[in-house]
Structure 1
Amino acid sequence: MAKSPARTSHDSRNRGTIERSFLKQGLKILGVDEVGRGCIAGPVYAACVSLNYDALKSLDTKTRALIRDSKTLSTAQRQRMIPILHQVCRDWAIGFSSVSEIEEQGIVPATFQAMLRAYETMKESHDLLLIDGKHLNPMLPIRQEAIIGGDGLCFAIAAASILAKEARDDFMRQAALNFPHYDFHENVGYGTKSHLTAMEARGITPLHRRNFAPVTRYAELGHYFSTTI
């Protein structure tokens, strides 16, 4: 698969321009994005999205403006957008790689695998996949376009970002019920101060990535979670 150069732009007014250029060529396009790559606990998630662009156009301006990088939205905004995205998606799918897979393969291959799992669940074939960032996914058997800042430039990537983020956050909120001292419902696996303090006091859980610092140090010391603390 031939590689294409990464595109980049930081002007939000350009959102959708790249997609329109491909749609005018008659191409069926997908967007893909990952969530959780930089966490120290929990799986990495990815979503793949095929948008109905006519339905997208029918949204009011304020609602359409919320289809952007999931990190710029509040939890309430993302949750409000989920049913709307379901309405404007022709198809969408979620994939993930587990903590053990992240430890065995490394985060980059595990992220690519999560994307592959989402892609393979899509019902229809497509011509082009738009991927956030500067790296293409060697596991995906489809022409790809890498777009730096793609979740701020392409509606399909942004929609994938939101769907993946909420799916992963929901997983971590459920995990917080089993490990209530780590604030997973708030930090969703990122290394916040309270999260690091909990690891120091109570050890690491099966959800912690032992190949990520500072988790590695606690794993080497045998400092594992105990319900008796």
Structure 2
Amino acid sequence: MSRRKLPDSPLFSLDPPVPDFSFELSARRDGFWPVAGADEAGRGPLAGPVVAAAVILDPDAVPAGLNDSKLLRPDQREALFAEILATATVSIASSSATRIDTTDILKASLDAMRRAVHGLATAAGFVLVDGRDLPPGLSCHGKAIVKGDSRSVSIAAASIVAKVTRDRMMARADATFPAYGFALHAGYATERHRVAIDSHGPCSLHRMSFRPFRQV
């Protein structure tokens, strides 16, 4: 897969906006380096963990095609996942369905991101986080960026790592709980998943604090 030269600032284009390195370069100009991107996957599903990733990209080896994981095909995500792991510093953490139920999905997501950032082999000097909230307890400065996975290549890389990791976890869960079809929908509230819940009831991976289960 080819790699691209990162500009100091985004260029005007009629094409849809794509993530760039401008937030990272701004942090470096302010004296913060290295810069990590952090994102999570799996806030919305009815089952399974929420998975977070933190990624420090090598500015000289940024994979081409990084973008919000939701905008990529599964084969594109898999290819980029492999290249990110080969060229970047990566850390992954998760919060289980039980942890989600005992706190809430936002707190569980932010805690997973905090642990992912702190798990990096190279300590981040600054972290860019997708969303509106910075995880509490970070050991470095940071910035929350709304729609950051489509604006920062570091956050985009983290979104891909988190998404691919979670999808693989749910595919493995399918072997243990085959009645629910986790490999097909990764725990999201599809019609097939809801029918399976009606037929078999919830399993240990289901988030009992979510609406369909609150009265169970």
Using the size of structure 2 for normalisation, the TM-score is 0.88
| Structure 1 runs (4+) greater than 4 angstroms displaced | none
Aligned to 1:12: 17
Q: CA deviation at 1:87?
A: 2.5
The reply on whether 1:86 has 2:85 as its aligned counterpart is: yes
Alignment of 1:9-88 (within 5 A): 12-13=17-18, 15-28=20-33, 29-56=35-62, 59=63, 64-65=64-65, 67-88=66-87
Describe the SS at the equivalent of 1:39.
coil
Using the size of structure 1 for normalisation, the TM-score is 0.83
Residues 96-123 of structure 1, C-alpha deviation per residue, up to 9 Å, x if partnerless? 0111111111111111111122122112
Q: CA deviation at 1:40?
A: 0.8
Residues 149-208 of structure 1, C-alpha deviation per residue, up to 9 Å, x if partnerless? 100111110111011111111110001111112111011011011100110111111100
Q: Is the 8 A contact 1:112 1:139 kept in 2?
A: no
Alignment of 1:1-229 (within 5 A): 12-13=17-18, 15-28=20-33, 29-56=35-62, 59=63, 64-65=64-65, 67-89=66-88, 91-217=89-215, 220=216
Describe the SS at the equivalent of 2:81.
helix
Residues 21-66 of structure 1, C-alpha deviation per residue, up to 9 Å, x if partnerless? 223444211100011011110011000111101111xx5xxxx12x
Q: Distance in 2 between matches of 1:205 and 1:146?
A: 34
Give structure 1 stretches of 5+ with no counterpart. Answer: 1-10, 221-229
Q: Is the 8 A contact 2:36 2:54 kept in 1?
A: yes
Q: Is the 8 A contact 2:48 2:170 kept in 1?
A: yes
Q: Is the 8 A contact 2:52 2:116 kept in 1?
A: yes
Q: What do you get for the CA RMSD once the two structures are aligned? A: 1.5
Describe the SS at the equivalent of 2:134.
coil
Equivalent position amino acid for 2:32 in 1 = L
Deviation larger for 13-22 or 162-171: 13-22
